[in-house]
Amino acid sequence: MKFEFDTTMFQEISMTILLVLFVIVFTIPPLVMLFLYFKDKNQKQHSVLRNFPLLGRIRYILEMLGPEFRQYLFDGDSQGKPFSRVDFQHIVVAGKYLKTLIAFGSKRDFKEPGYYLKNSMFPKLKEEMSVELTPKISTKRYVGTEGLFSRKERLEEVDVSPWTLMKNDAIVIGPNCKNPWHVKGPLGMSAMSFGSLGGNAISAMSLGLGKATGSWVHTGEGGLAKYHLVGGGDVIMQIGPGLNGVRDKNGKFSWEFFRDKAANPQIAMFELKLAQGAKIRGGHVEGAKITPEIAEIRGVEPWKSVDSPNRHHQFHDVPTLFDFIDKMKEESGKPIGIKIVMGSASSADELIKFMADTGRGPDSITVDGGEGGSGATYQEMADTMGLPVHSGLIYLDNALHKYGVRDKVKVFASGKLFSPDRIAIALGMGADLVNIARGMMISVGCIGAQKCHTNTCPVGVATTDPGHQKALVVDEKQWRVFNYVITLRNGLNSLAGAAGLTNYTQFNRSHIVYKDGYGKASLLSELFPYPDSK
């Protein structure tokens, strides 16, 4: 049987399709535009649309797309806020490739005032450095090429040095506690709650930090979740004014729940949150984000909005704060820290003087800078309330030296300290350890969409929505966290050697130089001399 192609029928079908397309293209859009024209012309909310209906629509489209256009097309490499394109690139490259190499030269504007690290005429050789290079740890990094249309990268296994501190140089928090905490690395995860971040993001951080060793996971004020524990490493459990995770059904502090958390061997320390740089006020969580799982962890009702008070009800001044800390130490046997924001040079005096007079107080103090981030806060508070981390560190360090208790407390710093040079400067200003939040978020895929407060994070980081979370693959992102941390430690070690130090715990104010707008350079130890002890 011979098949014959009916050209007449084919032509009729083709003409019909063309006619339908013609109607769709030349009839429906004009009708839609006509409808929108009269709708916008007669509405009373938007002035631009009322006078210029169609042009006004174009204006609003461009306004909505403006942030993305600026981020990817119009802002310079170092102009974006709160993190620039260069900032993102450095974190991502470290996580993917274990590298911080650049070509041709720095993009820093050297005419602008800023901090620098003082180099030594006789830097330390590799064999003179006092850090752990073995046993090496296995990780995975990307190799191959990544073009505009082709993605030919693949993961390869590689062994790396941990770059942790020697046993004798380990930082000991709460040496007089029943269970002191020995920390062999200078940096870890900052306070980020489950609920603010999704389980996939926290799991990736926990696994990466656990494999890196010498680091820690921080629960934030949302309570201890299983995702914080999956990496098997040390955990700091934060207790905020909302008492999430240690509150009874009436919202009161429960010593029973507290002892239960303290019995977990992974909990290395507890931290009382007194303030946060991005929001010195009580927190708020929309009911839509409080799933049954989050509600159980926090001890609240599902799907019901929760507001935390501005401060803890359990204490109202320094003496009652110290009483509460003493009770926590007694019940847990573990170090107790506090998190504060410095408001002025005198902010720490009352606290530190009371420590000196009584021999009591916290085992660690976290200084959170005003430039720190948050899943949701208010513009006026984020921009103005609380000092930046550099000023806060110096003023706290001065108070600790002035009252002779610098050796009794360890200082954590947080606030955009996401690169080795920034961390080294913070250590020189008085920090013993550094918390990193947004750097960790970027390492697991954050693109700076600034949708954290909406639960619709497009890359699955700051969301608990299952549909959005599937974008974040834990088995892949854990290696990026691991590589990011190892690269930071390696970079810190290089900077310490260049400064003539044997490890990165030895940075102080004499290693930091401030260059002003006229080109004059001054040591930080000259600008802010260490005070005489009282």
Q: Could you give all domains of the chain from N- to C-terminal order, each with its CATH number?
A: 31-74 (no CATH), 115-127+171-527 (3.20.20.70)
Dihedral, CA of residue 398, residue 400, residue 402 and residue 405, to nearest 10 = -160
Per residue in 345-391, pLDDT tens?
Answer: 888 999 999 999 999 999 999 999 876 666 556 666 666 667 899 99
Cβ-count burial 227-239 (b if 16+ within 10 Å, e if not): bbbbbebbbbbbb
Give which of 396, 349, 409 is closest to 369, Cα–Cα.
396
The pLDDT, as a whole number, for residue 330 is 97
Q: What confidence score (pLDDT) does residue 382 get?
A: 64
CB atoms within 10 A of CB 432: 18
Cα–Cα distance, 10 to 315 (Å, whole number):
85
Query: Rounded to whole angstroms, what are the CA distances from 56 to 36, 44, 60, 337?
Result: 11, 14, 6, 54
Residue 114 has pLDDT above 90, yes or no: yes
pTM: 0.89
Distance between CA atoms of 467 and 9, rounded to whole angstroms? 47
Report, as an integer, the average pLDDT of 162-187. 96
- Tokens 């590589």 found at: 483
The helix (run of H) or strand (run of E) holding residue 239 is strand 234-239
Among residues 438, 428, 532, 431, which one has the least CA distance to residue 484? 438
Nearest to 68 by CA among 369, 392, 447: 447
Q: Give me the torsion for CA of 341, 345, 348, 350, rounded to 10°.
A: -140
Answer yes or no: is pLDDT of 145 > 90: no
Q: What is the pLDDT of residues 183-237, one digit of tens each?
A: 999 999 999 999 889 999 999 999 999 999 999 999 999 999 999 999 999 999 9
**What is the mean predicted confidence (pLDDT) over 85-109?**
88
| DSSP code per residue over 18-33 | HHHHHHHHHHHHHHHH
* pLDDT higher at 70 or 190: 190
CA distance 131 to 124: 12
